[in-house]
């Protein structure tokens, strides 16, 4: 029923105009990074209300790390109206013998939702655009994606946005490779906002149909602000290309294959280092996934959610398999 409702609403959404959304914008590259500014400007230009709450420092690859020490102080710096940075307090040092991070993307989402916007809860959390793609195995370690996942876990739909890296160019000429990604960020932001606006139009129509039915049209009432069930969100990855060079849009699942592969290797000096290694050749199934589709020069859209729980069928199978165990 939800699928049929979504298909019908999507068809209507082609001709609908989305209303302005109240958006919490974050990232993992830092509150002053060019990627978050590109998305901030694109969202404002589209008429949305935006509050930027990002990490004080670059937190790339930090995953879902967050404050875990009760009473830990967190510094909140206001850059401008509706723009904030979240970071460690002055002079902070981690507790002895403990690895910790303060002012992570997840911290920024928590501060934004539970403090700064607690009386003006956002309709949507947007995370990015990240410097570098977040596809395949990279999604697990991504601060960008995990900021979006944290928002969804807290009940707010979210969209993660990333701009890819030309791996061959950046290996040969790091400055030119970095600039190519930076040059694609404005196009990434504009594309992501078009995705959000199209999806928000579908979500707005679902709310109208739900209200008209006085809550009886359950499939429509279960559609969120971006036209998806519950708190489902999106992971958007855009290639490091000029807009006219992008090869189209792919809808693909997160794959277990990716171009960026880290492996522990022990050198002649006995030191173990995490090095980049060549990825294996993708299988036919892996070629349908997000990382391979992005490598073809396509913009990739992947639905994601913040629920780690397996499907009801798998839960029932586990219960049947393990039933009768005693503690």
Give φ, ψ of 218 to 5 degrees: -55, -40
Q: What are phi and psi of 225, to 5 degrees?
A: -65, -20
Assigned domain for 327 exists: no
Residue-number span of the structural domain to which 126 is assigned: 2-322
CB 231 within 8 A of CB 303: no
Q: Kindly tell me if the per-residue pLDDT of 8 is higher than 90.
A: no
CATH of the domain at 285: 3.40.1210.10
**Cα–Cα distance list, 45 to 18, 91, 242 (Å):** 14, 39, 21
pLDDT in tens, 43-92: 999 999 999 999 999 999 999 999 988 899 999 999 999 999 999 999 99
Mean pLDDT computed over 249-253: 95
Percent of the chain with pLDDT over 70: 94
- 227-239 pLDDT, tens digit each: 999 899 999 999 9
In a domain, 122, yes or no: yes
Q: What's residue 130's pLDDT?
A: 98
φ/ψ of residue 174, rounded to 5: -55, -40
Using CA atoms, how far residue 262 sits from 14, 254, 259, 274, 282, in Å, is: 42, 18, 10, 6, 16
SS3 211: helix
Neighbours of 304 (CB within 10 A): 20
| Total count of domains within the chain | 1
Predicted confidence (pLDDT) at residue 14 exceeds the cutoff of 60: no
pLDDT in tens, 183-220: 999 999 999 999 999 999 999 999 999 999 888 788 88
Residue 70: cis peptide before it, omega within 30 degrees of 0: no
114-171 per-position pLDDT tens digit: 999 999 999 999 999 999 999 999 999 999 999 999 999 999 999 999 999 999 999 9
Say how far apart CA 200 and CA 188 lie, in whole Å: 18
3-state secondary structure of 54: strand
* Pair type for strands 22-26 and 124-131: parallel
In a domain, 280, yes or no: yes
Domain membership of residue 137 (yes or no) is yes
**pLDDT value at residue 215:** 81
pLDDT (average), residues 1-7: 54
Q: Which residues contact 92 (CB under 8 A, 6 or more apart)?
A: 73, 102
In a domain, 170, yes or no: yes
64 lies in some domain? yes
Report the distance separating Cα 193 and Cα 249, nearest Å. Answer: 15
């Amino acid at each position: 029923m939800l699928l049929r409702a979504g298909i019908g609403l999507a068809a209507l959404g082609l001709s609908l105009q989305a209303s302005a959304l109240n958006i919490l914008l974050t990232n993992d590259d830092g509150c002053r990074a060019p990627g978050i500014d590109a998305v901030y400007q694109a969202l404002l230009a589209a008429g949305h209300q935006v509050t930027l709450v990002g990490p004080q420092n670059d937190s790339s690859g930090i995953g879902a790390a967050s404050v875990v020490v009760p009473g830990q102080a967190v510094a909140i710096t206001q850059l401008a109206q509706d723009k904030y940075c979240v970071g460690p307090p002055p002079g902070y040092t981690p507790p002895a013998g403990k690895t910790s991070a303060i002012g992570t993307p997840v911290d920024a989402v928590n501060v934004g939702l539970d403090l700064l916007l607690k009386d003006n809860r956002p309709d949507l959390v947007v995370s990015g655009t990240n410097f570098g793609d977040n596809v395949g195995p990279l999604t697990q370690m991504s601060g960008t994606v995990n900021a979006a996942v944290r928002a969804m876990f807290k009940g707010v739909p979210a969209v993660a946005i990333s701009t890819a890296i030309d791996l061959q160019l950046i290996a040969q000429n790091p400055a030119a490779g970095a600039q190519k990604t930076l040059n694609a960020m404005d196009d990434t932001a504009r594309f992501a906002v078009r995705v959000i606006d199209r999806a928000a139009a579908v979500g707005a129509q679902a709310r109208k149909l739900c209200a008209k039915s006085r809550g009886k049209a359950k499939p429509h009432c279960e559609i969120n602000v971006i036209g998806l069930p519950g708190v489902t969100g999106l992971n958007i990855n855009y290639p490091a290309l000029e807009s006219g060079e992008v090869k189209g849009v792919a809808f693909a699942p997160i794959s277990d294959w990716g171009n960026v592969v880290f492996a522990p290797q022990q050198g002649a000096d006995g030191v173990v280092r995490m090095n980049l290694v060549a990825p294996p050749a993708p299988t036919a199934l892996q070629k349908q996934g997000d990382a391979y589709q992005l490598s073809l020069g396509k913009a990739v859209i992947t639905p994601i959610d913040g629920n780690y729980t397996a499907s009801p069928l798998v839960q029932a199978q586990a219960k049947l398999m393990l039933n009768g165990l005693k503690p």
